[in-house]
C-alpha cells in the first residue's frame, strides 16, 4: 500500500510545464507527479551537509557511470568521493602550475636585473 500523500498545487509557466513533460518516461517516471517527486527528493537529498558548503552537479554518460560503479564495487569509493578527490587534485595541480610560472617569472626578472645593474668596475 502506498504511503499517504498530500495534494499540493503550484503555478508554473508554460515553459516549465514543457520541461516537466519532457522528463515524463525518463528514469521510470510515469507522469508529472513522479517527475516532481523525484525532483523534490533530489533537491532535498543533494543539499550540502553544512551551511557554508555548496553542491556541484555533474552530468555523466553511460560509460562514466559504469566506471564509477566499478570503482565503487572494487574500492568502495562513491561517485561523490571520486568527484571531490578529482576536484581537489585539479585545484592542487593548478596551484603548483601557478607556483612554477611565478618562479619562472621571478627568475627571468632576476636575470634581467643582473644584466642591467651597474657594475663597480664601470662606475669608478
Measured distance CA(31)–CA(55) in Å, rounded: 28
Separation CA 117–CA 68 (nearest Å): 58
Single pTM value for the model? 0.53
Look at residue 86 in the predicted model and tell me its pLDDT. 94
- Per DSSP (E only), the strands in 7-89 are none
In angstroms, rounded to a whole number, what is the distance separating the alpha carbons of residues 43 and 39? 6
CA distance 86 to 78: 12
pLDDT the model gives residue 119:
64
- Residues in the chain with pLDDT < 50? none
pLDDT score at 77: 94
Each residue of 81-108: pLDDT tens digit?
Answer: 999 999 999 999 999 999 999 999 999 9
pLDDT given at position 50: 84
Amino acid at each position: 500500500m502506498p504511503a499517504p500523500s498530500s495534494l499540493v498545487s503550484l503555478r508554473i509557466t508554460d515553459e516549465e510545464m514543457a520541461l516537466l513533460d519532457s522528463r515524463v518516461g525518463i528514469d521510470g517516471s510515469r507522469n508529472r507527479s513522479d517527475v516532481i517527486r523525484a525532483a523534490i527528493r533530489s533537491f532535498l537529498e543533494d543539499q550540502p551537509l553544512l551551511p557554508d558548503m555548496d553542491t556541484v552537479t555533474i552530468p555523466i554518460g553511460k560509460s562514466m557511470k559504469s566506471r564509477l560503479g566499478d570503482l565503487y564495487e572494487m574500492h568502495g569509493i562513491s561517485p561523490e568521493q571520486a568527484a571531490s578527490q578529482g576536484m581537489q587534485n585539479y585545484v592542487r595541480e593548478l596551484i603548483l602550475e601557478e607556483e612554477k610560472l611565478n618562479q619562472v617569472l621571478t627568475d627571468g626578472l632576476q636575470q634581467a636585473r643582473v644584466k642591467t645593474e651597474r657594475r663597480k668596475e664601470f662606475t669608478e
